[in-house]
Chain A
């Protein structure tokens, strides 16, 4: 099944979800595809019988990790280093933070998001949220005078959303996700008539139901306009109960596993039974076509350009033999078409390192994330914290509205895992009860039994606008051990977003008051993500939603790819991934990225017909 030519129909850089979808779509049409993956892989194995590969070895690493951060299960690999949330510091005023982790950060605010460099990519540790964008999210500039318009509309992307939802296997109910029950026309989503998701929605948690009941009829006022507060189940890329003939894909390497979500409570950072979708499943399907080869431990570092045609003539990569040593072979490969699917930051880095696709000077610019503000407190009664998937519902009713002319929109995520994110509960907080509060024996047990099931938190995913000064660059001073560039990041959170955070905090306070939640939220000036707005302090975290570094547009002068997701500068170069998105809006970007990638794969197939 493995073809070892040096000449492929398509060379894809990156074996995450975008690369996997592209490879599967092309492989199914008989195209010869090579994927170059910088990280290591599992070889499709679940068990590994003591070897360092296989999904189970990730599980073991997670169980023994002291800090259960998103990348904890995935091996540290100096040949394909990855950012970690534990690296993030507040950048000093005078010098960059250059000695902590993979990113070099110039600030003024820290960029707090991470991703996974491994076969399967960041879907190995994503939460699985699969929201569509709103129609108005595609027209931010023309409707609100903010950000940019997309070169495509919601209507055009709509059929591709359906394909992506079927492929990922999203659990949700369409008559809930069209938001027609929400009294805010801005957020209502037109679904194709009779369309429904492939699986029924994941059951909402007891907490979700408690909130829905308690917040019934609640409204907030923004700019003299009232908006409802509605609790709605969130569509999820995890196996629920299949609708009709739909059959979800089992676990890669162990088809006995991978059935319905069993609420293991650690899908971030790793789902033990692969009930949650990961790109490993799509990669397996791609391999089954017999036309797709995956070469792991292969770091692409340079794209060569044919001066006559402006085509990408070769992809140069370093193939290292183990993550223990910096020894590598220098190799190169040719594809009729080259697709970069290496993640927003890595795509930009590779383009900048090769000095290609950048006639617009927009490569690496407009880096966006969802600065995520948390609020937390104790519910007046036990709401069953620490059970089920990380989040099963949210409050989407402020995702859109006239206020976007002045301040960021936001989505409210309802967390099922108590104070795990803001305080590290229960693992980090129990020692505090013992060491700092002197509790032991029955008193300790009583405190845990009384308080932990009442722990509650919101997450506010706040919109950020494309800003050319928020950017990934490269600098000869900063290289990894293979000699490849490390990302150098300039990042700030503007007043538009800070105003959204302030608004979110007001909404949170109102909800806490209504429900009788005892607030414990603390924004410390020492937190890396501490920012101020109108004299008040807030703290943001990274959402892991890295968007915008090679955005698409209508004009080659101010965008990197066209609506086909093809580079304006190089006819045989396609870019995929969240880097293509001109705005981030309020939805977690994976579903939109997947939909765009199915579209891009169609465009690549059409282009290949001309070779």
Chain B
């Protein structure tokens, strides 16, 4: 129901809620992409790459929570546990980025190039290509329009306590701040854009050197927003992995990273299927069962997130355990070579199973 971005300025509350629901789907749709690569890394190897991808995943969940809180704060209800919530991979991202598709694939240079497209800053993208950051700018403008019309009533007081509080979420992502007015709403949106694309800067010159200055446009923004250690935005963190070197002071986006080498060993990766489909496992009952187990855990997670974002935030405590279960089940699959001689290993298909289709349902 929320599949495509409608290309129009946001003029009504309904349109705002539509786009915020889309934002939640957008943030979640990056997770199967990143987690497929992350979990394909053999345990204990490629620690640097593992940490970088994991930190981005944490921040995507943080973005999802910010978008959901804004939806809740303006009187909406996130819809998370339904088959339409998750795209089928390969997929175009739900915010209307038509110029590439996101793939599920093992950790590899190809995966990193795919990540770079997802996190492309508007300043680097071609003029016609919409980016995630630009999508959020549209939401910011819509908020302003509606705030001019409704004033503070845009953020009803009885919606403050239904939001997800910081106490449920910290470490590695950012700080959830309650949304009660236009300023706090813009802060939450800005945090998403700043971490993903980098702090937007009108007169940014991509030949301008580091150090990760406040105005170079490639700083993640965590430093200013949350008093956290300064770090690069997602795009440049992934670019470091792709090129195998760190950015250091004096580097520019054009020069690329010239700092210390990052040890990466692509042989220490399970060669999992790219964009696996349920049909790939029809001939292999045991693997199909592992995939179903994974999808049942994923479905439980989406159910829990749905309840948490709809008035029962305490369920997030249990959802954390489910997230660990998801990792365990994904890794269980990825250790298994397909018995077809292809050399590929199994990988989860990331499908939501509705309650009435689950084993044991009547």
Contact = CB atoms under 8 A, between A and B. Distances in A.
A49 B170 contact: no
A56, A200, A258, A260: which has the most chain B beta carbons within 10 Å?
A260
A243 B167 contact: yes
B116 interface: no
A310 interface: no
Contacts of B54: 256
A257 B168 CA distance: 15
A593 B320 CA distance: 33
B110 interface: no
Interface in B153-196: 166-168, 170-172
Contacts of B229: 255
B168 A241 contact: yes
B51 A254 contact: yes
A321 interface: no
B192 to A, nearest CB: 18
Given A241-B168, A242-B166, A243-B167, A262 B320 contact: yes
A258 B166 contact: no
A254 B172 CA distance: 9
Nearest to B323: A262
A390 interface: no
A256 B172 contact: yes
Given A203-B317, A255-B229, A256-B55, A47 B170 contact: no
Contacts of A248: 170-171
A247 B170 CA distance: 9
B324 interface: yes
Interface in B10-51: 44, 47-48, 51
A237 interface: no
B321 interface: yes
Contacts of A255: 172, 228-229
Interface residues of A, number: 22
Contacts of B58: 256
B interface, over-half SS: helix
A324 B55 CA distance: 37
B263 interface: yes
Interface in A241-266: 241-243, 247-248, 250, 254-260, 262-263
Given A203-B317, A254-B51, A260 B44 contact: no
A257 B171 contact: yes
Interface in B288-324: 317, 320-321, 324
A254 B228 CA distance: 12
Nearest to A239: B171
A256 B47 contact: no
A60 interface: yes
A305 B282 CA distance: 81
A49 B260 CA distance: 13
Given A256-B58, A260-B320, A262-B320, A200 B167 contact: yes
Contacts of B170: 242, 247-248, 259-260
Nearest to A261: B320
Given A203-B317, A255-B229, A260 B47 contact: no
Interface in B229-268: 229, 263
B6 to A, nearest CB: 37
Nearest to B170: A259
A203 B171 CA distance: 19
Nearest to A200: B167
A259 B167 contact: no
B320 A47 contact: no
A256 B171 contact: yes
A231 to B, nearest CB: 20
A239 B317 CA distance: 13
Interface string A33-75: 0000000000000010100000010001000000000000000
B213 to A, nearest CB: 21
Contacts of A262: 320, 324
Contacts of A260: 170-171, 320
Nearest to A247: B170
A200 B170 CA distance: 14
Contact of A60 (B44, B168, B263, B321): B44
A243 B166 CA distance: 9
A564 to B, nearest CB: 37
Nearest to A387: B321
B167 A242 contact: yes
B43 to A, nearest CB: 10
A262 B317 CA distance: 10
Contacts of A239: 171
A47 B48 contact: yes
A371 to B, nearest CB: 35
Nearest to B324: A262
Contacts of A258: 171
Nearest to B316: A241
B172 A257 contact: yes
A262 B54 CA distance: 15
Contact of B171 (A47, A200, A250, A263): A250
A49, A241, A255, A258: which has the most chain B beta carbons within 10 Å?
A241
A247 B321 CA distance: 22
A259 B51 CA distance: 14
B47 A47 contact: yes
Interface string B95-133: 000000000000000000000000000000000000000
Nearest to B172: A256
Contacts of B228: 255
A263 B47 CA distance: 22
Nearest to B166: A242
B54, B55, B166, B170: which has the most chain A beta carbons within 10 Å?
B170
Contacts of A203: 317
B316 to A, nearest CB: 9
A482 to B, nearest CB: 34
Nearest to A240: B167
A384 B47 CA distance: 32
A259 B317 contact: no
Given A203-B317, A254-B51, A256-B51, A49 B171 contact: no
A209 to B, nearest CB: 14
Nearest to A244: B167
B194 to A, nearest CB: 17
Nearest to B50: A47
Nearest to A47: B47
Contacts of B168: 241
A475 B192 CA distance: 65
A277 to B, nearest CB: 14
Contacts of B171: 239, 248, 250, 256-260
A453 to B, nearest CB: 16
A259 B54 CA distance: 13
Nearest to B317: A203
A263 B328 CA distance: 14
A241 B167 contact: yes
Interface of B: 44, 47-48, 51, 54-55, 58, 166-168, 170-172, 228-229, 263, 317, 320-321, 324
17 contacts: A47-B48, A200-B167, A239-B171, A241-B167, A241-B168, A241-B317, A242-B167, A242-B170, A248-B170, A255-B229, A256-B171, A256-B172, A258-B171, A259-B171, A260-B170, A260-B171, A262-B324
Interface of A: 47, 49, 56, 60, 200, 203, 239, 241-243, 247-248, 250, 254-260, 262-263
Pick the 7 closest A-B CB pairs, nearest first: A259-B171, A241-B167, A256-B172, A256-B55, A47-B47, A242-B167, A203-B317
